[in-house]
């Protein structure tokens, strides 16, 4: 006959806690935990089931209802977000006039661009060069 022999336990509180944390952080436990999406769906399903009468056998219909509600919520959120972004977008600036009333030739614009470049007015030189390209 086998006699029950008590196992010697010489662990302190901190050492036991460390061993427990190490054991519970193993892959066996983390793989068994449902993912964030599954937990959210389960929570939402439980809330929907709380709204339904107890004698109603909902079954998979509740899951379909939860998924449909999520799809609708996502679509509404996307629609509202798109409208907010569209409203916040800066208004399109009025088209700036390239030619300010003068009727110079392309050659005149090139000459003016070269003069502005010599003076170091690079934005003006680029604008004049662009006007020369547009004039042809």
Q: pLDDT means per 10 residues in the chain (136 residues)?
A: 67 87 82 83 81 71 77 92 78 59 83 93 91 85
Taking the C-alpha atoms of residue 85 and residue 105, their distance in angstroms, rounded to an integer, is: 43
The predicted model scores a pTM of 0.35
User: CB–CB of 129/110 below 8 Å?
Assistant: yes
Neighbour tally for 113: CB within 10 Å:
20
Compute the radius of gyration of the chain from its Cα atoms. 37
User: CB–CB of 66/44 below 8 Å?
Assistant: yes
| H/E element, 26 | none
Residue ranges covered by each domain of the chain: 23-88, 106-135
């Amino acid at each position: 006959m086998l006699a029950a022999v008590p196992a010697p336990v010489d662990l302190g509180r901190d050492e036991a806690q460390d061993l427990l944390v190490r054991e519970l952080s193993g892959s066996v436990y983390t793989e068994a935990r449902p993912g964030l999406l599954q937990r959210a769906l389960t929570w939402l399903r439980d809330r929907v089931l709380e709204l339904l009468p107890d004698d109603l056998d909902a079954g998979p219909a509740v899951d379909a209802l939860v998924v449909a509600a999520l799809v609708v919520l996502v679509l509404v959120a996307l629609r509202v977000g798109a409208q907010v972004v569209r409203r916040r977008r800066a208004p399109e600036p009025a088209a700036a006039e390239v030619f300010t009333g003068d009727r110079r030739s392309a050659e005149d614009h090139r000459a003016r661009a070269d003069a502005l470049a010599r003076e170091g007015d690079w934005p003006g030189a680029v604008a004049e060069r662009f006007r020369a390209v547009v004039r042809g």
